[in-house]
Structure 1
């Protein structure tokens, strides 16, 4: 359960603490001029999923546009203080990242509130990975691993105790990666909620 964010959290925005160490790889805040890339990225990551439905191209294009706009609206409503980043390699945009700083209730199981633990009522700071997406050509090269490692460093720098995320139950590949990186399951039904302790 997310709790209100106080003014101290406002001062700890993640952009000033987040950087990558791999040569040629940087993150920077998304700008208005990046809208076209973000739309192309969304299409590239979803096209394969919807193409299997055998839809004619005009209908597929309309569906992809609707999905992109629905995601934008959903993120703005659910995470109004989220920060949006572009992942750039050798000057070319290859992905996008969305994160937010939250307060969550610590639980007796040591993780954020979940279906399998009892909340202790003490608020702690958490960094939530809302979304990470890479162009197909950038996948499978360790870039996602590098970004998440940098997020963990940034989270510690703002004294966050948890790095949290939710992933679709059907996305076994992502779940496997997150577990290898140190995330543990904390419950969920439609989505698997996971967290990495940052003690």
Structure 2
């Protein structure tokens, strides 16, 4: 598989040639709006006026992003591209001893193609190169996402009523899938709280 390197400040990712990462630009907002709305099926199914639901989705999107900016002001907001077209968004915070995956989301039309899993593997590879770990929080009821993280070597460190905190250490990469063994992505998902926790669908 052809590999390219995409640099995001101190972060370097090894990705298949069809995939790319770039910083979010102002003109990406329309795509980000559609992406977020696609993840809020819970709100779209409410028996209310469509305009009211759209307003609710927009408000929740604003709360989400304000939570990220408040808790992770230096996080990198990155657009995922496939064949030059935006297909998702990733938010990553680079700490002194770990990379925090705050959010990952892929548009429905590009899901189950291995994109999210490829990004996760690239993030682990980058963390390994830096001698760091990777942390995230997954919603307790998202068994598919938790299963994927466990398969990639993440371990649970603790939980509250809604979220489970998971962590991966660099030395745990040995024995897990490599970039040459990418499989179709499981369902991940996205619900960020004001603590920057997420549960993602990819």
Query: Is the 1:14–1:154 Cα contact (8 Å) retained in structure 2?
Result: no
The equivalent position to 2:55 in structure 1, one of 46, 62, 66, is 62
Q: Which residue of 2 aligns with 1:39?
A: 33
The equivalent position to 2:142 in structure 1, one of 171, 187, 198, is 171
SS, match of residue 77 in structure 2: strand
Q: Which residue of 1 aligns with 2:94?
A: 101
Q: CA deviation at 1:171?
A: 1.8
Query: Is the 1:145–1:181 Cα contact (8 Å) retained in structure 2?
Result: no
Q: Which residue of 2 aligns with 1:109?
A: none
Give TM-score, length-normalised by structure 2: 0.76
The equivalent position to 1:84 in structure 2, one of 70, 77, 87, is 77
The CA distance in 1 between the partners of 2:81 and 2:93, in whole Å, is 20
Query: Is the 1:17–1:157 Cα contact (8 Å) retained in structure 2?
Result: no
What's the Cα RMSD here? 1.6
Q: Which residue of 2 aligns with 1:3?
A: none
1:195 aligns with 2:189: no
Larger CA Rg, structure 1 vs 2: 1
Query: Is the 2:92–2:103 Cα contact (8 Å) retained in structure 1?
Result: yes
Q: CA deviation at 1:14?
A: 5.2
The CA distance in 2 between the partners of 1:196 and 1:54, in whole Å, is 41
Give TM-score, length-normalised by structure 1: 0.77
The CA distance in 2 between the partners of 1:175 and 1:139, in whole Å, is 17
5+ residue gaps, structure 1, are 1-12, 104-124
How many residues of Structure 1 are paired with residues of Structure 2 in the alignment? 164
Cα distance, 1:184–1:139 mapped onto 2, change above 3 Å: same
Q: CA deviation at 1:173?
A: 1.8
5+ residue gaps, structure 2, are 1-6, 172-202
